[in-house]
């Protein structure tokens, strides 16, 4: 298998996703379990990285600017920052992504996040319940995204 521009960690994650998805297709793994494991991997990738991620809401940028070097508050505050996934990981994804190479691409797509405040995240979760994703989710939630240069 010749995968170009794929680091070891990315390849290992794609292989695990591939095996879990195959288990779902072969009815050896419950879809809910495979989704839980893969969502955990996707969340882990962005833990404590909010200040380094370039796509963020205007409100998240305001919070970053306001709190400065001390950093934004942690969970429990409406100003806490969250990495919100632009796209969903679904059972359909498990059933239709059938190669390690395809999983590398899919995990890259699913890893796309925008930094938002906790207050914005609540509105975005409501949009997700209506099956809105990508730009439509942010528009429906009144969340304006910007790209910033990060260090």
Q: Is residue 130 part of a domain?
A: yes
User: What are the angstrom distances between the C-alpha of 47 and each of 42, 52, 83?
Assistant: 9, 11, 8
CA–CA distance, 14 with 101 (Å, rounded to integer): 8
Its domain, for residue 19, covers 8-147
142 domain-assigned: yes
Q: Does 1 fall in a domain?
A: no
Per-residue pLDDT tens digits for 57-100: 999 999 999 998 888 998 889 999 999 999 999 999 999 999 99
Residue 25 within any structural domain of the chain: yes
Strand (E) or helix (H) holding 96: helix 91-96
The answer to whether 149 and 54 are in contact (CB under 8 A) is: yes
Structural domains of the chain, count: 1
Query: Per the domain annotation, does 56 fall within a domain?
Result: yes
pLDDT of residue 45: 84
Hey, CA dihedral for 119, 125, 128, 133, is it positive or negative? positive
- Please give the pLDDT value at position 50: 84
Beta bridge partners of 93: none
For residue 2, the model assigns a pLDDT of 55
Q: Is residue 77 part of a domain?
A: yes
pLDDT at 60: 96
* 76 part of a folded domain: yes
Q: Which residues of the chain have pLDDT under 70?
A: 1-3, 151
130 touches 41 (CB < 8 A): no
pLDDT given at position 151: 64
67's tokens: 């709190």
In a domain, 123, yes or no: yes
- For residues 25 and 39, what is the distance between their CA atoms, to the nearest angstrom? 18
Token duo for residue 140: 């429906």
Q: What is the pTM of this model?
A: 0.86
């Amino acid at each position: 298998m010749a995968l170009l521009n794929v680091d070891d960690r990315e390849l290992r994650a794609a292989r695990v996703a591939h095996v879990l998805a195959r288990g779902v297709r072969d009815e050896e793994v419950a879809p809910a379990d495979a989704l839980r494991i893969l969502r955990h991997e996707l969340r882990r990738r962005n833990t404590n990285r909010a200040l380094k991620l370039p796509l963020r809401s205007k409100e998240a940028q305001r919070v970053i600017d306001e709190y400065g070097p001390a950093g934004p508050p942690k969970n429990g505050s409406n100003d806490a920052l969250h990495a919100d996934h632009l796209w969903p990981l679904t059972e359909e994804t498990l059933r239709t992504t059938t190669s390690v190479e395809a999983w590398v691409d899919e995990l890259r797509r699913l890893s796309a996040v925008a930094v938002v405040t906790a207050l914005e995240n609540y509105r975005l979760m409501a949009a997700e319940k209506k099956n809105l994703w990508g730009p439509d989710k942010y528009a429906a939630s009144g969340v304006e995204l910007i790209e910033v240069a990060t260090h």
